[in-house]
Chains A and B, each alone.
Chain A
Amino acid sequence: MKQLSVDNLLGIKYLKNEDIELIFETANHFKEVINRPIKKVPSLRDITIANLFFENSTRTKLSFELAEKRLSADIINFSASQSSVKKGETLIDTVNNILSMKVDIVVMRHPNVGAGVFLSKHVNAKIINAGDGAHEHPTQALLDSYSIKEKLGTVKGKKVVIIGDVLHSRVALSNIFALQLQGATVKICGPTTLIPKYISSLGVTVETNLKKALEWCDVANVLRVQHERMDIKYFPSIREYTQLFGINKEILDSVGKDIVIMHPGPINRGVEITSDVADSNQSIILNQVENGVAIRMAVIYLLAQQIKK
């Protein structure tokens, strides 16, 4: 029977490869749906979803909202900046109050690592982690792998390099788990100050020379430099970072093969990636965004399926 092996989507760490395959297969169907003249199906008419964003987000929030609306779910939105969290309410109280309004699924982004796991143990609703601190961002990793599969046919056996600010990135960790689960090889590239100390225990290799990393890989996933999370200086200047780790046309041309370029957004144009690369044919950045809606529809649909009448 085709069902997810998990009750919540808290992280890629908890998934099996078969789960990822099922999500991709379902996403294929939804991708066809969102390209129809009327892009909506009635499946989740009797499901209510709460989007709880305790941290800023534009694209993930929009993407989740759109996915939920395309499935005909009722949705309520909540952002921490306008809420009683500021008045000192605890997470469980906030969520339980929202659940008393008969909510079936909670999509949550939270600045603290493990917030999703914590919540899943205390509340009676399906939890989808939309990013917890620098830990996991499972739907982003799923849409990244899905986009690689769409472009290259398969993820298995591909070499993927994740470039940049790995230390502050939840995208990196979820991507490492997802790619390895599907049989890809992962390398990390960036300034040593932005690479977590024990990253090699996850089975990834580290390369500090950008050119060598690009020569090795089939896909380069370029991360955003997260200035807002940097309380200390991790590199001398943005200019120096750009010179050593910025992706530009010259370095891509010098590699002599067509590497697929990805970026989870939002892009710091001219810092980690130049505009001509971000907008080139090699870049699948906008495909990632479109696929994000299909992937999130698939995840929500598959979890909603487990909620019995």
Chain B
Amino acid sequence: MAKKTLLNAKDIHIILHRLACQLIENHDDFSNTVLIGLQPRGIFLANRLIQILRKDYNISSINLGHLDITFYRDDFRRRDAPLEASNTTIDFIVEDKKVVFIDDVLFSGRSIRAALTAIQSFGRPESIELLVLIDRRFSRHLPIQPDYKGTQVDVINSEKVKVSWKENGEKDAVYIISDN
């Protein structure tokens, strides 16, 4: 198994600050915007961005929720392994808000499709945007593109892109893992 580092901690630090600034450009003081981290892996990125927005840019009143999409997936009963659900916490109104979905890697686009359906259960947002750390190009099954992206990468289908976070007891890094 070969493991190649795509981004190291310093790269991620720079990218996160850039993404935070791009969000501020479009959403000002976030009074009409809510951030939604997608379970399970998007919440680390979402939490990190919130920290930066609060600490470094003094945006205090900003809503962050976690959305689990397990029950909205299109591969229920089609996989060998059972699906495992995570928690959903959305303690605010989504109706007429600008929603920003946050996930670590955009691959086939199917999770985002599920998230688009799932969020409707909480109301009708004014708009929905997508922020991802890694955009795997040329791998989409659906017409879904990110509005904000950390970096773009071209990898073949058999390769995996893994994002690790120090909150998980690892180093901040993004790896490309291949079988050979």
Cα(A203)–Cα(B81), bound, Å: 37
In the complex, whether B68 has a CB less than 8 A from a CB of chain A is yes
Within 8 A of B (CB), among A260-309: 301, 304-305, 307-309
In the complex, whether A124 has a CB less than 8 A from a CB of chain B is no
In the complex, whether A229 has a CB less than 8 A from a CB of chain B is no
**Quick one: CB contact mask for B46-73 with A, threshold 8 Å, 1 for yes?**
0000000000000000000000101111
Which of B102-110, B118-126, B169-177 participates in binding chain A? B118-126
In the complex, whether B82 has a CB less than 8 A from a CB of chain A is yes
A residues less than 8 Å from B84 (CB atoms): 2
Of the listed residues A37, A38, A305, A307, the one surrounded by the most CB atoms of chain B closer than 10 A to its CB is A37
Closest to B70 in A: A29
A residues less than 8 Å from B138 (CB atoms): none
CB–CB B82/A2 < 8 A: yes
CB–CB A43/B87 < 8 A: no
Of the listed residues B71, B84, B117, the one surrounded by the most CB atoms of chain A closer than 10 A to its CB is B71
CB–CB A309/B81 < 8 A: no
CB–CB B122/A38 < 8 A: yes
Known interface pairs A1-B81, A41-B71; A29-B121 also in contact (CB < 8 Å): no
In the complex, whether B4 has a CB less than 8 A from a CB of chain A is no
B residues less than 8 Å from A29 (CB atoms): 68, 70-71, 85, 87-88
CB–CB B76/A37 < 8 A: no
In the complex, whether B9 has a CB less than 8 A from a CB of chain A is no
A residues less than 8 Å from B85 (CB atoms): 26, 29
Cα(A26)–Cα(B83), bound, Å: 11
A247 to chain B, nearest CB (A): 37
Cα(A33)–Cα(B86), bound, Å: 12
A18 to chain B, nearest CB (A): 13
A residues less than 8 Å from B77 (CB atoms): 304-305, 307-309
Chain A: interface residue count, which band?
20 to 34
Cα(A32)–Cα(B78), bound, Å: 25
CB–CB A3/B71 < 8 A: no
Of the listed residues B77, B82, B84, the one surrounded by the most CB atoms of chain A closer than 10 A to its CB is B77
In the complex, whether A40 has a CB less than 8 A from a CB of chain B is yes
Known interface pairs A29-B68, A42-B71, A305-B76; A3-B82 also in contact (CB < 8 Å): yes
CB–CB B72/A42 < 8 A: yes
**Quick one: CB contact mask for B79-117 with A, threshold 8 Å, 1 for yes?**
001111101100000000000000000000000000001
In the complex, whether A36 has a CB less than 8 A from a CB of chain B is yes
Closest to A29 in B: B85
**Quick one: CB contact mask for B117-153 with A, threshold 8 Å, 1 for yes?**
1001111000000000000000000000000000000
Cα(A40)–Cα(B118), bound, Å: 10
CB–CB B82/A40 < 8 A: no
Known interface pairs A1-B82, A2-B82, A29-B85; A43-B76 also in contact (CB < 8 Å): yes
CB–CB A37/B71 < 8 A: no
Identify 14 new A-B residue pairs, CB closer than 8 A, beyond the known A29-B70, A304-B77, A305-B77: A1-B81, A2-B84, A28-B87, A29-B68, A29-B85, A36-B121, A38-B120, A38-B121, A42-B72, A43-B72, A43-B73, A304-B76, A305-B83, A307-B77
- By Cβ-Cβ distance, the 6 closest A-B pairs, closest first, are A41-B71, A38-B121, A29-B85, A43-B71, A36-B121, A3-B82
Residues of A within 8 A of B (CB): 1-3, 26, 28-29, 32-33, 36-44, 301, 304-305, 307-309
Could you jot down 24 A-B contacts, CB within 8 Å? A1-B81, A1-B82, A2-B84, A3-B82, A29-B85, A29-B87, A29-B88, A32-B88, A33-B71, A36-B122, A37-B122, A37-B123, A38-B121, A39-B121, A40-B121, A41-B121, A42-B71, A42-B117, A43-B72, A43-B73, A44-B76, A305-B77, A309-B77, A309-B78
